[in-house]
Structure 1
């Protein structure tokens, strides 16, 4: 086994394959980045899920998206998107309006406050991601992105 993933003292079991070591390395790295991003969001008064919704809705534009469309685009799957949107609506970040053409469809759109918040966070988020990954070369970043895409494509099949 390579020295890049040391054995945890509370887990003396030996890894059986490079694939297992790689998977554990991905999981640990993912959790570390997730923890850091969640702490960053908490410092700014919102959750990582809320920020994800703000970015999704900014990309959707003035037409907005329905609850299920938002759920499908979330990075981290969550079962109760309705309650998340309820909290965001109470905070004045989004609004939902029933479609006149199809009363079953209720698109969610950003409010001016929500758009201002997500726009305001662009610079700090870029700086945060650079602090995490800026030590990698552009070539390494492209390779990492490509490798992660290959893994997702294989697992999704």
Structure 2
């Protein structure tokens, strides 16, 4: 009997392995969630990555070096400078070069961005409930545990910018 993913993909033959099926399931789910999340943030004039930068800065509560922000991103962004440029052009962040080391640029969230994040917070929580709120608390903890365990096979520097 074909599994749901096999039916969705209209795959005639079974998957070559349980690993292949699980990985494709993960990739398909991530793609569908990313599409939905991307549409959500576009409603607020942001990309997923821009939102991530603003959340990092709001959570830290102080300016951070741009490379520190890059290291904390959920998804690796190859062009952190360009991303911060766009946020600065929108009035969401300010930059200041470090006086002790001119190579370091500190990025600070603006009041405008903090207000936008406050506006997004409620709808964002609702989106989370829409996407995975049908899972129980126990299932969510197990899902997180399994995903974290899966990432252990990756090199430790996999999130390096």
Would you say same fold, with TM above 0.5?
yes
How much has 1:14 moved relative to structure 2?
Answer: 3.7
- Greater Cα offset, 67-76 or 35-44: 67-76
What are the superposed Cα offsets for residues 86-116 of structure 1, whole Å, 9 maximum, x if unpaired? Answer: 1110110000011223322211010111111
In structure 1, the partner of 2:159 is none
In structure 1, the partner of 2:78 is 79
**Structure 2 CA distance, aligned partners of 1:122 and 1:68?**
26
TM-score by structure 2 length? 0.89
Q: How many residues align?
A: 155
What are the superposed Cα offsets for residues 115-139 of structure 1, whole Å, 9 maximum, x if unpaired? Answer: 1111221111000000011100000
In structure 2, the partner of 1:3 is 3
In structure 2, the partner of 1:106 is 105
**Structure 2 CA distance, aligned partners of 1:99 and 1:72?**
19
In structure 1, the partner of 2:138 is 139
TM-score by structure 1 length? 0.91
- Structure 2 unaligned segments of length 5 or more: list them: 157-161
Asked if 1:48 corresponds to 2:48, the answer is yes
How much has 1:2 moved relative to structure 2?
Answer: 4.9
For the 8 Å contact 2:2–2:14, the answer to whether it is kept is: no
Higher relative contact order (CA 8 A, sep 6+): 2
- Structure 1 unaligned segments of length 5 or more: list them: none
- Greater Cα offset, 95-104 or 126-135: 95-104
**Structure 2 CA distance, aligned partners of 1:52 and 1:111?**
15
CA RMSD of aligned residues (A): 1.6
**Structure 2 CA distance, aligned partners of 1:53 and 1:136?**
28
